[in-house]
Structure formats: C-alpha cells, structure tokens
Chains A and B, each alone.
Chain A
Amino acid sequence: MSLDQQLQQNNGVIIAKMDDLLNWARLSSMWPISFGIACCAIEMMGAMAATYDLDRLGVFPRPSPRQADVMIVAGTVTFKMADRIKKLYEQMPDPKYVISMGSCSNCGGPYWQHGYHVVKGVDKIIPVDVYVQGCPPRPEALIGAFLELQKKIEQQSLLKGDIFPELVKQ
C-alpha cells in the first residue's frame, strides 16, 4: 500500500520503510532554484503561475541555490553562461536534480550546427536527470518532467547508495 493510501485508510498511521519515507519527503518538495536563461523561462514562469500552479506538486522556486533541490535549465546555455550554471549547480546542497528544459539545453537546439557560442547540451557540464522536449516546451511538459522526476526519486534506495553514497562506498 502506498503512503497516500495508508494516509487515507489507516487513520493517518503510516508504516513505511526508511527508503520510502526519505523518498516521499524528497519528491514532495522539489524546490527549483529560480533562474531562467531564455524563452523557455517564460514557459517555466507560466507553469509556476496561477494557471498551471506547479506549487500543488510542492514545486516552489527559491532565490538561493542553498535552499534548492532542483535546477531547471530553461534556455540556451552559452559558453559564457556555462561557468555560472556549473557554479550554481555546485553550490546546491546534496540531493540535487537537474531538469533540462527545451531543445537548446538538451542538445543546442537551433544552434546545434552554427551556434559558435552555444554549449551543445547542458549535460556536457552537469548531470541531467530529466530532459523536456520542445522549443519551447509547454508548461504541461514541464509538469510532466516533474512527475517523471518524482518517479525517479521514488526508485532511490539507501542500500544502492542513492541517498548516502559516501556511506555505501565504505
């Protein structure tokens, strides 16, 4: 029985594995660091605003990487921007996930051939968890990405080292 079902049926008493509890806590409050690079950011703002209301999934933009769990790379990653993105990603505390939003950050997009200034995919500088297709993707697509990310976090396990990698290595 899932955590949500238990919450409704067992009078609020939940019996769960530590894995499930930690994953549940993580996937229920994925706070992205609020920054947008290009036009995908407009769609991202649309997804967070009242019409699509990403807040209902616990997605709430934070102004500082220290409080963020997710980085939405929404736009064209130029070489000049790549250093900053890498730095911001490093400054986020550790469970951290990356959503690459739109063609530009997936693979360079329209700049893939002649864009001398564009990084051909943000996954060349930081590890990406979920790719969102589109140019730009609609807000529904971004919501879908968060749902996919939730599924991914649900699969994490203490023993596999997804949560405390340094402990499992020892």
Chain B
Amino acid sequence: MDDPAQISEYGKILLLAIVGIVIVSATIFLARVLAPKNPNPLKLSTYECGEEARGTSWVQFNPRFYVIALVFLLFDVELIFIFPWATVFGQADLIAADPRWGWLTLIEMGIFLGILLIGLVYVWVSGDISWIKPTHRKPVVQVGIPADAYQQLNNRVYAVKDYRDRSEKEETLAQPVSPIKIGFKPKFKKPNSEA
C-alpha cells in the first residue's frame, strides 16, 4: 500500500467517476454536434402530455391521497413478490424431490401475507381507508391545568418594548455576528446573496 504507483480503493472510485464524467460529456457533446436543430415555438413549449400548459404548478393536493397511495403501494409490492414465489412454488421438480417443499413455501407466503393483512386491518380500523370521515375525532390530552388559566394568560396585558427605538448602547451589546431578527421570514438561498 505504500507504493505510490498503487491506486487506493478511493482512487479507483475517483477513476471510475472521472471516466464516467468523460464518457457522458463526450456523448452529450457528440450529440450536440451531430443532432440537427430546428427549433420552433411549438417544439420549445412545455411538454405536458400534449396539453396546453397553463396555471401554476403550485397547487394544493389533498393529503388523503397520500395515505391511499401508501396502502396501494404496499399491496402493489406484495403482488410483485407473489409472482416469483408462484413460479418457484409451482415447480413440479422441487415438490417431487421433497414433498415438504410445497408446504414450506406455502406457509412462508402465508406468514408474509398475514403480516401485510395485519397492516391492512390496522389501517382499516384506524379509518384511514374511508375517504369521507363522518366522525371528527379531536385529540384530547389530559392535563391538570384548568382552561381558564390559559385564558388569564392571554388576557393579561404585557409591556412590549418597541424594537425600532433601540438605544446605541443596546446595539453595541447585541451580538455582532447574527443580529436578532423580529418575526420569521422564510428565506430561500439565492446563488449571489451572502450566507
């Protein structure tokens, strides 16, 4: 390993990355040179399955779809596992070799399906499958604090200092690195702005 001519394991990965980048960029460059280019407005328009793209893509989406999609995915994957299992289960040679084979695979699949079935029952009982939920259950927490205690806290008048008329003395005391900002503003990093 001390021989500098040897490539370390990380070096091999680096080499692989370099070769990969070179090959991909070479083919893209070649395609750029060879490909004919006849742009027109219709061709440059957004691909939306042939439809006219309109409106904003920031639309709200019902979160109930998410649960349904998750449950669907579960059984989708289950089906994908059942197909290869069925081909192995159905092989006459294996069963002829040892008759216990069929029972073993069947019980294995039964366990697998049973676990998923428990999941389905859980989802069903939790009411996640029903699209329309007739009863709204509000989460209730048992705490010893009476409700009027919060009411009193909310009704109390607090002395609020105006943040705009800070004295100079305060500013020197404030941390120079990160000045405290009032309120929360969502910030998106722009490439040219300072961190």
**Residues of chain A at the chain B interface (Cβ within 8 Å):** 22, 64-66, 83-85, 87-88, 90-95, 163-166
Contact = CB atoms under 8 A, between A and B. Distances in A.
B169 interface: no
B40 A90 contact: yes
Nearest to B36: A94
Contacts of B151: none
B42 A90 contact: yes
Contact of A91 (B34, B35, B37, B43): B43
Interface residues of B, number: 13
Q: Majority SS of interface residues in chain A?
A: helix
B83 to A, nearest CB: 13
Contact of B35 (A84, A90, A93, A166): A93
B50 A94 contact: no
A95 B50 contact: no
Interface string B39-66: 0101101010111000000000000000
Q: Majority SS of interface residues in chain B?
A: loop
A66 B50 CA distance: 12
Nearest to B51: A84
A94 B47 contact: no
Report, nearest first, the 7 A-B pairs whose CB atoms are least far apart. Answer: A84-B50, A90-B42, A94-B36, A88-B50, A90-B43, A87-B50, A94-B38
B25 to A, nearest CB: 18
B34 A22 contact: yes
A65 B36 contact: no
A157 to B, nearest CB: 14
Contacts of B45: 87, 91
Nearest to A163: B36
Interface string B1-40: 0000000000000000000000000000000001111101
Nearest to A81: B50
Contacts of B51: 84
